């Protein structure tokens, strides 16, 4: 019962710890037009939680970027934490930068003629070092306000 009460308070720290890792990874769900939900592994336990608006919105953006439901993403974050993945991430990605980016932009581009969906997540500041082979993902900043975003992830 205490774990149920503590779960809503765990989501924001988990997002702080793993959001840079999730932004740097390939999409969990490869099918761009579909949302992935948990597999049925027996009887599920229904939980009602109150999560603040900022946490809910950020969880939604990260979940949508990976093509999964918010519930799936919470389970995935809990699995990452139980697997102790965060210890290595803290040393590699979370050193010397704030826990959250200052701005996020999640854009869908529907190309109906080519039957294609391109989803891009843009964020600033960019804590992830980009190699020369990934330069095609970069957007060159100009003097406009839109140039705040340095990295575009295409799925």
Q: Which residues, other chains included, contact 132 with Cβ-Cβ below 8 Å and sequence gap of 6+?
A: none
What pLDDT is stored for residue 95 in this prediction? 61
| pLDDT tens, per residue, the chain with 155 residues | 677 778 888 999 898 888 878 877 888 887 767 788 877 766 767 778 888 888 888 898 888 888 899 989 998 999 999 888 877 776 666 565 565 666 777 777 778 888 877 777 777 666 554 444 444 444 444 443 333 333 344 43
Of 108, 104, 126, 118, the residue nearest 24 (C-alpha): 126
What pLDDT is stored for residue 77 in this prediction? 92
Q: To the nearest 10°, the Cα dihedral for 79, 84, 86, 90?
A: 180
Name the residue with tokens 């939680």.
49
Distance CA 142, CA 140 (A): 6
What pLDDT is stored for residue 100 in this prediction? 61
Distance CA 151, CA 148 (A): 10
What pLDDT is stored for residue 120 in this prediction? 74
What pLDDT is stored for residue 68 in this prediction? 92
What pLDDT is stored for residue 138 in this prediction? 46
- DSSP letter assigned to residue 41: -
pTM for this prediction: 0.65
Domain ranges of the chain: 2-154
Question: Tokens at residue 103, please?
Answer: 């701005």
């Amino acid at each position: 019962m205490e774990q149920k009460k503590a779960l809503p308070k765990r989501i924001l720290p988990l997002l702080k710890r793993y959001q840079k890792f999730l932004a740097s990874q390939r999409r969990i769900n490869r099918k761009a037009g579909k949302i992935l939900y948990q597999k049925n592994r027996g009887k599920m336990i229904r939980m009602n939680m109150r999560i603040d608006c900022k946490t809910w919105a950020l969880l939604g953006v990260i979940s949508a970027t990976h093509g999964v439901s918010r519930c799936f993403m919470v389970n995935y974050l809990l699995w990452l934490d139980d697997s102790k993945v965060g210890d290595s991430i803290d040393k590699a990605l979370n050193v010397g930068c704030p826990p959250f980016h200052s701005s996020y932009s999640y854009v869908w581009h529907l190309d109906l003629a080519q039957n294609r969906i391109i989803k891009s997540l843009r964020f600033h500041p960019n804590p992830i070092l980009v190699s020369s082979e990934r330069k095609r993902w970069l957007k060159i900043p100009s003097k406009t306000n839109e140039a705040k975003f340095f990295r575009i992830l295409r799925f």
